[in-house]
Amino acid sequence: MTRRLAFLLFALTLLAASQSKSAPAGVLGPQDVKDILPASVFFQGQSAPVQMRNSGGVRTAQGKLILAALVDTSGYASNVAEKYQAYLLTEVEIKIEGKALPPGAYGFGFVGDKFNVMDIGGHELLNVSAHMDAELHRPVPLRVAQSGSAYRLYFGKKFVEFAPA
Amino acid sequence: MLLLLFPLHLRSQQAAAPVVKAGQPCPAAMKVPQFVDVTAQSGIRFHHDSAPEKKYIVESMSGGVLLIDYDRDGWPDIYFTNATSVEGALAGKTARGALYHNNHDGTFTDVTEKAGVATPCAFAMGGAVGDYNNDGWPDLYITCLGGNVLYRNNGDGTFTDVTRQAGVADGRWSTGAAFADYDHDGNLDLMVTNYVDFHLTDLPEFGSKPTCKFRGLSVQCGPRGLKGAGDSLFHNNGDGTFTDVSKQAGVSDPSGFYGLGVAWSDFDRRGAQDIYVANDSVPNYLYRENKNFTFTDVGLESGTAVSGDGLEQGSMGVAIGDYLHTGYPAIFITNFADEYNTLYKNNGHYQFEDVSYQAGVALASVPYVGWGTAFADFDNDGWLDLFVANGHVYPQIDTLPSGARYRQPKLLHMNQHDGTFCDASAQAGAALMEPRVSRGAAFGDLFNDGHIDVVVEDLDGGPMVLRNTGGSAGHWISLELSSPSKNRLAIGALVKATAGKLVQTEEVRSGGSYLSQNDLRVHFGLGTAQKVDEIEIRWPSGRVEKIAGLKADAFYAILEGSGVVPLKRIQPAPDQPPR
């Protein structure tokens, strides 16, 4: 009886583990990432809350995560808040508009028609042109969407394309 | 659909008036209404008590003002909410609100003590007017931090606090409130928005966290970084009590968004009462009534939750009006500084479009924090204009070398009859340009002269009674609606006025603006028309009534089923005991 129970528990554990690993690849929404993202994030000298309702990401075919979320940046000085709007966590190297970004935690923002990625010290690492999706119906503050074999990171109607390298 | 919708007539309806590019100063040829600050002459001496430093968010959000014709004499009276400081509240102090009786001669008399409405709570925010017990006397609901108050109007110039019996205290930090009969049982129900989960025993310390900073300055904390509070819908049981049905109705706000302004409207003219909630710093709600007395939030699908670019805004006040004469009411929202006030054009079928910039109401608002607002026809040309009261929340910003200031002027957008507005803020008299820390604003014909006036409540000072001395010689009509036994103030009634080619719609609406209450009478500007060809009323009961040939420039009392009647017939008997 004891051996039978032990076997059952072992089987259930294996099943749970396999389900965790086999979480489907693709786009993630706020409900998918709310238990993964930290409640607040550090950037340039202070921490600020993450807006879970405005979050999203991608789970790669290998189970690696790329996550993004808006941050409440009202507490930052104007010159920081102007360029820092959101947080990016990636477990894999990605290419944003063709430019490589290694795994790590970053701040980013859409400023004018540019998309900037900064390290958590506020130093600019990547600067590319953003696009405007004028036809996008009912835009939301932040959203990740599939775009062919790549993905789009939307900030309202603005977006950049990215993909795992 | 009981009321036929009608096509856009826009400029073809009117003799051509000069038009400027949207948002530009109004053309010199336009007769802009002039607003004169008559507070001193009015005898109103109210002063808001909040702490000047605004170290806590609860000290920044009060200031609702309510027009209530409490004695039903046909002249709007005024109630100002008041709030003490946190320090004062901790010392057991309350703040004295004030009820001013309209003396019919341009002056008002403080009747607060006699009325018994002086101190509903330490932090009174705003409220709404409605006749919850169907005795014909307008009752007063005041929102507060820590417990709201329902004052039953006794019909003799006094009120009785019936909150406990009625069961509408809520107990959280309530802000907006509005009555409507959403289930058509003839009894007014009550929607209440709540802001943040705030307790005097656990104060978020000034400047203590990143969310207590603004542009690097230490400021009050919140709303971001503080837990939100849900909203409440109280169903009127018809026996003087209410039941909280928020959850089953689907409007409890489980996300805990920061609720402020609230208004009911039949947005798709289906004979249903929908709800719009302006939330601060998060998406707004548009609750569509499901025709079974439950609601579904269609904010995002309808395009009214966020700006047209998909960005969340710090929303405060809400105005609803058919500014395009399409038959469908648009939504106008006042927002935080560095955003813009948002005008959502109603395309029907719960589809809205952010036309703020095209319409010319966005750019001028960017430097300001907007609060009280309304669509109203200030120049009686038959087209709804827009008014906005402004004022920042952080006095500390005045130490910054540039950018928005704490005290801010007001905005007046005049309708150009083509879907655009011109900016008349600097052309409507010096009072609008005077920088103030304004909050609530209530709109109505205070002096019964056919012009819509404005009462603005300010923090850090006295209110401003802005008398509209006219501008154009446009004609007008004013309608006071009443139902004989149920929902006697006819809240939710939909009125269509046809005067020549001018076809306008308006609702009798409780609440709205920023935590405020407008005159319940329905006012239509008529332009050059000297009569109204037809008034069509869809009463809250569902009855549709048509009245033909009303002469302009007059006030009419209309009793459901009886048409135009002497004012006396819709006034409750003075000795009628409260129900």
Q: Which pLDDT belongs to residue A9?
A: 45
CB nearest A140 (choices: B211, B306, B403): B306
Contact B213 A74 (CB under 8 A): yes
Instruction: Provide the shortest C-alpha distance from residue A128 to chain B (in Å).
Output: 21
- Residues of A with CB below 8 A from B212's CB? 75
pLDDT at B14: 46
* Closest-CA residue of chain B to A50: B225
**B366: which 2 tokens?**
């960017």
Please say if the pLDDT value at position B15 is more than 50: no
- B410's tokens: 């007001």
Q: Is the pLDDT of residue B238 over 80?
A: yes
The answer to whether B309 contacts A54, with C-beta atoms less than 8 Å apart, is no
Q: What does the pLDDT read at residue A19?
A: 43
- Give the residue from A42, A54, A74 with the most B CB atoms within 10 Å of its CB, the best one to mutate: A74
pLDDT confidence of residue B10: 45
| Res A74 pLDDT > 70 | yes
* Residue in chain B lying closest to A134 (CA): B309
- Cβ–Cβ below 8 Å for B210 and A76: yes
Q: Which residues of A touch B216 (CB under 8 A)?
A: 76-78
Return the higher-pLDDT residue of B470 and A52.
A52
Separation of alpha carbons A164 and A155, rounded Å: 20
* B575 pLDDT tier (thresholds 50, 70, 90): low
Q: Mean pLDDT throughout B476-484? A: 98
pLDDT at residue B471 in the model: 77
In the sheet with B453-458, reading across from the earlier edge strand, the strands are B35-37, B464-468, B453-458, B438-444
What percent of chain B has pLDDT above 70? 96
Inter-chain residue contact A138 with B310, CB threshold 8 Å: yes
Q: How far, in Å, CA of A82 to CA of B150, rounded?
A: 45
Give the mean model confidence (pLDDT) for residues A73-84: 86
pLDDT in tens, B433-447: 999 999 999 999 999
Q: Which of B479, B392, B468 is nearest to B431 (CA)?
A: B468
For residues B572 and B135, is the Cβ–Cβ distance under 8 A?
yes
Instruction: Calculate mean pLDDT across residues B168-192.
Output: 98
B50/B407: higher pLDDT: B407
Average pLDDT of the segment spanning B122-142:
98
Q: Stretch B167-183: mean pLDDT, rounded?
A: 98
Q: What's the confidence (pLDDT) of residue B351?
A: 98
| Host H or E run for residue B88 | helix B86-90
Residue numbers of A between 113 and 142 with CB closer than 8 Å to B: 136, 138-141
How far apart, in Å, are the Cα atoms of B102 and each of B153, B465, B569? Answer: 17, 12, 21
What was the pLDDT predicted at A75?
A: 79
Contact check, Cβ <8 Å, A157/B210: no
The verdict on a CB contact (< 8 Å) between B211 and A77 is no
What does the pLDDT read at residue A155?
A: 97
Residue A159: pLDDT over 80:
yes
- Whether B549 shows a pLDDT value over 60: the answer reads yes
pTM of the model: 0.93
Please report which confidence band the pLDDT of residue A144 belongs to, taking 50, 70 and 90 as the band edges.
very high
Q: For B499-516, what is each residue's pLDDT tens digit?
A: 999 999 999 999 999 999
Report how far residue B106's alpha carbon sits from residue B112's, in angstroms, rounded to the nearest whole number: 18
pLDDT for position B576: 63
**Two tokens, residue B263:** 């208004």
pLDDT (average), residues B463-473: 91
Measured CA to CA in angstroms, residue A74 lies from B197, B305, B335, B374, B486 at distances of 20, 20, 15, 29, 48
pLDDT, residue B225, reads 86
Q: Which residues of A touch B301 (CB under 8 A)?
A: 138
**How close B245 gets to chain A, by Cα (Å)?**
26
For an interface test with A, which of B209, B220, B255 has the most A Cβ atoms less than 10 Å from its Cβ?
B209
From A8's Cα to the closest Cα of chain B, the distance in A is 39
**Shortest Cα distance, chain B CAs vs residue A77, angstroms:** 4
CB pair distance less than 8 Å for B216 and A139:
no
Cis peptide before B27 (omega within 30 of 0): no
Comparing CB atoms, the residue among B255, B311, B403 nearest residue A156 is B311
Closest chain B C-alpha to A37 CA, distance in angstroms: 17
Give the model's confidence band at A13: pLDDT under 50 very low, under 70 low, under 90 confident, else very high: very low
Query: Which amino acid type is present at position B242?
Result: F
- Span B539-562, average pLDDT: 98
Say which DSSP state B220 is in.
Answer: -
Q: Which residue's entry shows tokens 């920088």? A: B435
- How do residues B200-227 score in pLDDT, each as one tens digit? 999 999 999 878 988 889 999 999 889 9
pLDDT higher than threshold 60 for residue B133: yes
- Which chain B residues have a beta carbon less than 8 Å from that of A141? 306, 310-312
Note whether A38 contacts B: Cβ–Cβ < 8 A.
Answer: no
How many Cβ pairs within 8 Å bridge chains A and B?
Answer: 58
Give the per-residue pLDDT at B211.
Answer: 82
Residue B231 class from Cβ within 10 Å (0-12 exposed, 13-18 middle, 19+ buried)? buried
**Residue in B closest to A139 by C-alpha:** B310
Whether residue A46 lies within 8 A of chain B, CB to CB, comes out as yes
Of the pLDDT bands very low, low, confident and very high (cuts 50, 70, 90), residue B8 is: very low
Q: Which ipTM score applies to this complex?
A: 0.85
